[in-house]
Amino acid sequence: MCDDFTLSAEDAALAAKGLSRRQFTALGAAAAIAACSGGDGEAKPSIALTEGMVQVATPDGSADAFFVRPEQGVHPGVVLWPDIAGLRDAFKVLARRLASSGYAVLAVNPYYRSAPAPLLASFAEWRTPAGQAKMAPAIAQITPEATTHDGAAFVAFLDTQPAVDKHRGIGTQGYCMGGPFTLRTAAATPARVKAAASFHGANLVTDQPDSPHLLIARTQASLLFAIARGDDARAPTDKEVLRSAAAAAGRPAEIEVYPADHGWCVPDTAVYDKTQADRAWKRLLALYSGL
C-alpha cells in the first residue's frame, strides 16, 4: 500500500522532522536510518554474529539472501520478507537485531528473478520516478504462486543449515508487501513454520480465492498482525476478517492497530516511529518465544 495515501503521511512525518523529501532522499540509506531512529541506527549486537550473502535454490532459479546467525550454538530459523523496496541495509539492520536475540535469520530478496539485491539502496528511492520505473518489471514477477514456492524453498534452506535448530519451529515475518508472504510461507510449510508476523502488511484480505487470510486455515502457526492506523482507516473491516479467519482455524492471533503510519517499523522510511517499532518488536519476540 505504498501509494499516494501513504505518501501524504510520509510528507507529514518528514515535515515534523524538519526535512523535505528531497533532503531525506539525499541523506542516503545509512544517514536516513540514523536520522529516523534517533541514534546510530543499529545497536551493537550483544553476542557475536556470523553473516553473509547466500544463494538459495528455488524452482525458478537461485535467490540471493542475507543470512545472519549467532556465532555459536543452534537456533530457531526465521524467514524475513522485506517491503516493496526490497532487501537493503535497513533489513540487514533488522536481521542482525533479531539474530542478536538468538535466531538464525534469512532476509530474502523477493526480486531475485530480476536482479540481485539491493535493487534500491533505500526506501526513499522507491518514492522517485526512476526508482519506481526500475522496480516495475521486478514487481510484475511477484505472484502468489512464486512467493509460495519461494517461501517453501527458504524454509528448506534453513533446515539444511548447521546453525538452525531443527527440533524447534521456524518463524517468518514480513513488512508491507512482505506481510502476506508470511502466510503463504506458513501455509506452504505448515509442519515447520510455527509463527508468522505481518507488520503494516498490504493486501492481507482480498476478494480473490487465494486471499492470504484464507490461508490461515492451512497453517499451524501462531500469528501476529500489527496494522498501521492509515491502513485500518482505509479497510476497517480487515482486522475483523483476520480475527474471524484465525478463530475459525483455531489459530492463536494477536491483531492490533498501532498508532503509527504505514511503514513505521522500517528504519529507513520517512514514517519510522521508534517507540511504536520497539513495541511491535517486543511483540515479535514474544511470538517467537513459542518456537
Q: Which helix (DSSP H) or strand (DSSP E) does residue 255 occupy?
A: strand 253-258
Domain containing 193: what range?
4-288
pLDDT band, residue 43 (cuts 50/70/90) = low
Is residue 38's pLDDT more than 60?
A: no
Residue 27 in this model has a pLDDT that exceeds 80: no
- Per-residue pLDDT tens for 165-214? 999 999 999 999 999 999 999 999 999 999 999 999 999 999 999 999 99
Say what percent of the chain tops pLDDT 90: 81
Residue with cell 526535512: 19
Q: Which CATH number covers residue 109?
A: 3.40.50.1820
- HSE-CB for 140 with a 13 A CA cutoff: 7
- The pLDDT value recorded for residue 249 is 98
State how beta strands 193-199 and 253-258 pair. Answer: unpaired
Neighbours of 133 (CB within 10 A): 9
Q: Check: CB of residue 35 under 8 Å from CB of residue 17.
A: yes
pTM exceeding the 0.85 threshold for the entire prediction: yes
Task: Give yes or no for residue 152 having a pLDDT over 70.
Answer: yes
pLDDT reported for residue 11: 65
CA separation for the pair 49, 260 (Å, rounded): 31
| CA–CA distance, 109 with 252 (Å, rounded to integer) | 29
pLDDT at 41 over 50: no
pLDDT of residue 50: 98
The residue among 100 and 25 whose pLDDT is bigger is: 100
Q: Look at residue 46 in the predicted model and tell me its pLDDT.
A: 74
Q: Which helix (H) or strand (E) holds 194?
A: strand 193-199
At residue 14, does pLDDT exceed 80?
no
Q: CB of 270 within 8 A of CB of 124?
A: yes
Count of structural domains, the chain? 1
Q: How far apart are CA 18 and CA 290, in angstroms?
A: 42
Find the mean pLDDT for residues 261-274. Answer: 94
> Is residue 229 predicted with pLDDT exceeding 60?
yes
Mean pLDDT of the chain: 91
Phi, psi of 80 (to 5 degrees): -110, 120
* pLDDT value of residue 143: 96
Tell me, what's the pLDDT at 39?
45
